[in-house]
Amino acid sequence: MNELNGKIAAVTGAASGIGLASTEAMLAAGATVVLVDRDEKALETICARLGERAIPLVINLLDLDQCAGLLEGVLSKTGKLDILHANAGTYIGGDLMETDLDAIDRMLNLNVNVVMKNVRNVIPHMIERGTGDIVVTSSVAGHSAVQWEPVYSSSKWAMTCFVQTMRRQLLKNGVRVGSVSPGPVISALLADWPEENLRKAKEAGALIEPKEVADAIIFMLTRPRNVTIRDIVVLPSAFDI
């Protein structure tokens, strides 16, 4: 399977969860992948395991200067960028009145502002080359107002809008923009789920593995250039919301 042979990808939040699974899937499809994450030790270990086409790039995306240097960092290592998977994000659940105010700022910065900045950072390069793919990790919570996660769900609704608007802006430039919207994925983010909701989901089999999301991303990236998958929702079959 070499559908992405010769392609250069950058994945944010690549040290775990969906980001790592996406990285592994793109490598298997022949791409070279720049793994963007703030966890330097994790990146070193992962890239040593994955081989020479896995390239670490240590960036704290919540640092304004480091975030602005994403494309420069990628190009210094690879010379071009074909694919951006804007995946880094965090989660807050529970009643709004019990939510820490600083946590709201951090989550909205990472889930919304950083994604917009990353896309803004890379699109001049993709427009100049006349081709590119941008995939944003959203959530089924961006399509349904989930009452126990008002901050998180709102951030993903923002991404649904952002992807739709950017797809329209960039289609004339040969740049495709889409999002993948998983249901609950077995990852570190579930640690912040309400305990009762997590217990019920596990008992019902209403969780999926990161690899199943990565498979959907590969499907999106390997369509003919005249086809754009604007959004793909990936749910556990037992999930009901």
HSE value, Cβ hemisphere, 13 Å, CA-based, for 20: 17
First and final CA of the chain: distance in angstroms? 35
- What CATH number labels 8-233? 3.40.50.720
Q: So what's the pLDDT on residue 194?
A: 65
The structure tokens listed for 193 are: 């789920």
Q: Active site residue: 91, 152, 157, 162, which one?
A: 152
Closest CA to 141 of 197, 223, 214: 197
**What percent of the chain clears pLDDT 70, i.e. is strictly above it?**
91
Residues 92-107 have pLDDT tens digits of 888 999 999 999 999 9
Spans of all domains in the chain: 8-233
Burial (CB count <10 Å: 0-12, 13-18, 19+), residue 142 = buried
Residues 118-158 have pLDDT tens digits of 999 999 999 999 999 999 999 999 998 888 899 999 999 99
Predicted TM-score (pTM) of this structure: 0.92
Contact 112, 155 (CB under 8 A): yes
Q: Which pairs count as long-range contacts for 226-232, CB under 8 Å and 24+ apart, including other chains?
A: 228/167, 228/171, 228/176, 228/177, 228/178, 229/178, 230/163, 230/164, 230/167, 230/177, 230/178, 230/179, 231/138, 231/160, 231/163, 231/178, 231/179, 231/180, 231/181, 232/178, 232/179, 232/180, 232/181
Task: Tell whether the model's pLDDT for residue 197 goes beyond 80.
Answer: no
Residues 15-51 have pLDDT tens digits of 999 999 999 999 999 999 999 999 999 999 999 999 9
The structure tokens listed for 194 are: 């309400």
SS3 118: helix
152 is catalytic: yes
